[in-house]
């Protein structure tokens, strides 16, 4: 066989081999790119549905717990702010939900305002008017949730003590009563968060009573 014939045979073999590899590679890619079958898709959807059924209630419970903790902690900070303002300014300082005319109300689930009173006259401390100074406003709780307190206001004297009666703020989330929490106020003006002292999954106040809303 001549040299030119050998070259031709070699070149033909080379191209035939590459063509075979190219065909095999494309066939493999086509076979592997078919995606999910209907059965596989239905199984996947069923698994997602089962996992969601199990996980969603736990997730909702977790989110409610976080919301309650955030609300009750923010309320305690608001009480602390009011007490410190009374001590630092020497003025009676009031915390209460105000109506449109600037008078304290019992609607604690609404916005709550902190303001210093220009006069330390207890009669005038349940309303906000010039030249009283507005210190801070806390937004209302989530609709459906409940925040209760026995009095229409909390008023701190310059000594840091309460002028109004002591008591407990109770926060109860909608349809999740077991997650209710509270803040207790002592006559000294100090505030205390509720805790699950008997390990029954429900918070109690300083007297050992479970937090509940009427």
Residues 184, 121 within the same domain: yes
pLDDT digits (tens, 9 = 90+) for 161-187: 999 999 999 999 999 999 999 999 999
Is the domain of 82 the same as that of 150? yes
Confidence of residue 25 (pLDDT cuts 50, 70, 90): very low
Is the per-residue pLDDT at 122 higher than 50?
yes
Q: What pLDDT is recorded for position 18?
A: 46
| Residue matched to tokens 């081999």 | 17
In a domain, 178, yes or no: yes
Q: For residue 60, which of 175, 207, 168, 153 has the smallest C-alpha distance? A: 175
154 shares a domain with 111:
yes
- What residues make up the domain containing 24? 3-34
77 and 25 together in one domain: no
- pLDDT for residue 201 is more than 60: yes
Domain assignment present for residue 207? The answer is no
- Residue 89 and residue 116 in contact, taking contact as beta carbons nearer than 8 Å: yes
Average pLDDT over every residue of 95-110: 96
Whether 93 and 181 map to the same domain: the answer is: yes
Residues 138, 112: contact at Cβ < 8 Å?
yes
Strand ranges inside 106-148, DSSP E: 112-116, 133-138, 146-148
Three-state DSSP class for 134?
A: strand
Distance CA 116, CA 206 (A): 29
Instruction: Give this prediction's pTM.
Output: 0.73
Does 183 lie in the same domain as 109?
A: yes
> Quick one: pLDDT at residue 121?
76
Q: Residues 86, 17: one domain?
A: no
Asked if residue 164 belongs to a domain, the reply is: yes
d(CA 153, CA 84): 17
Looking at the domain assignment, is residue 113 inside a domain? yes
Q: Do both 145 and 187 map to the same domain?
A: yes
Give residue 14's pLDDT band: very low, low, confident or very high (50, 70, 90): very low
Per-residue pLDDT reduced to its tens digit, 60-95 = 888 999 999 999 999 999 999 999 999 999 999 999
Q: What rounded mean pLDDT belongs to the chain?
A: 84
Q: Are residues 15 and 81 in the same domain?
A: no
Residues 77 and 141 both lie in one domain: yes
Q: Could you give the CA distance from residue 148 to residue 141 in angstroms, rounded to a whole number?
A: 11
Burial of 25: CB neighbours in 10 Å, binned 0-12, 13-18, 19+? exposed
What whole-number distance in Å separates Cα of residue 75 and Cα of residue 130? 25
- Lowest mean pLDDT: which of 56-60, 98-102, 138-142, 168-172? 56-60
210 occurs within a structural domain: no
Greater confidence (175 vs 53) lies with 175
Answer positive or negative: Cα dihedral of 4, 9, 13, 16.
positive
Asked, for residue 56, whether it belongs to a domain, the answer is: no
| 30 and 69 within one domain | no
pLDDT at 33 over 70: no
Q: What is the pLDDT of residue 55?
A: 63
For the segment 22-34, the average pLDDT, to the nearest whole number, is 46
The verdict on 69 and 29 lying in the same domain is no
Domain count, the chain: 2
Note the pLDDT of residue 11: 40
Looking at residue 26, its pLDDT comes to: 47
Is the Cβ–Cβ distance between 181 and 69 less than 8 Å? yes
pLDDT at 6: 43
R_g over Cα of the chain: 35
Q: Does residue 111 belong to any structural domain of this protein?
A: yes
CATH number, residue 88: 3.55.40.10
List the single range of 31-35, 66-70, 154-158, 185-189 with lowest mean pLDDT.
Answer: 31-35
| pLDDT grade for 57, boundaries at 50, 70 and 90 | low
């Amino acid at each position: 066989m001549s040299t030119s014939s050998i070259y031709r045979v070699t070149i033909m073999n080379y191209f035939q081999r590459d063509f075979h590899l190219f065909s095999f590679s494309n066939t493999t890619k086509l076979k592997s790119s078919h995606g999910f079958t209907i059965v596989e898709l239905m199984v996947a959807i069923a698994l997602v549905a089962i996992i969601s059924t199990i996980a969603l209630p736990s997730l909702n419970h977790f989110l409610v717990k976080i919301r309650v903790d955030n609300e009750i902690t923010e309320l305690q900070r608001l009480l602390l702010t009011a007490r410190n303002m009374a001590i630092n300014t020497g003025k009676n300082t009031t915390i209460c939900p105000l109506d449109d005319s600037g008078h304290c109300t019992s609607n604690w689930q609404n916005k709550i305002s902190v303001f210093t009173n220009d006069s330390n006259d207890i009669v005038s401390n349940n309303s906000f008017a010039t030249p009283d100074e507005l210190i801070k406003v806390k937004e209302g709780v989530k609709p459906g949730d409940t925040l209760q307190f026995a009095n229409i206001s909390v008023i701190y004297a310059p000594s840091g003590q309460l002028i109004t009666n002591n008591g407990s703020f109770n926060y109860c989330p909608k349809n999740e009563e077991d997650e209710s929490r509270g803040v207790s106020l002592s006559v000294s003006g100090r505030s205390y968060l509720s805790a699950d002292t008997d390990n029954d999954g429900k918070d109690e106040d300083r007297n050992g009573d479970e937090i509940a809303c009427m």
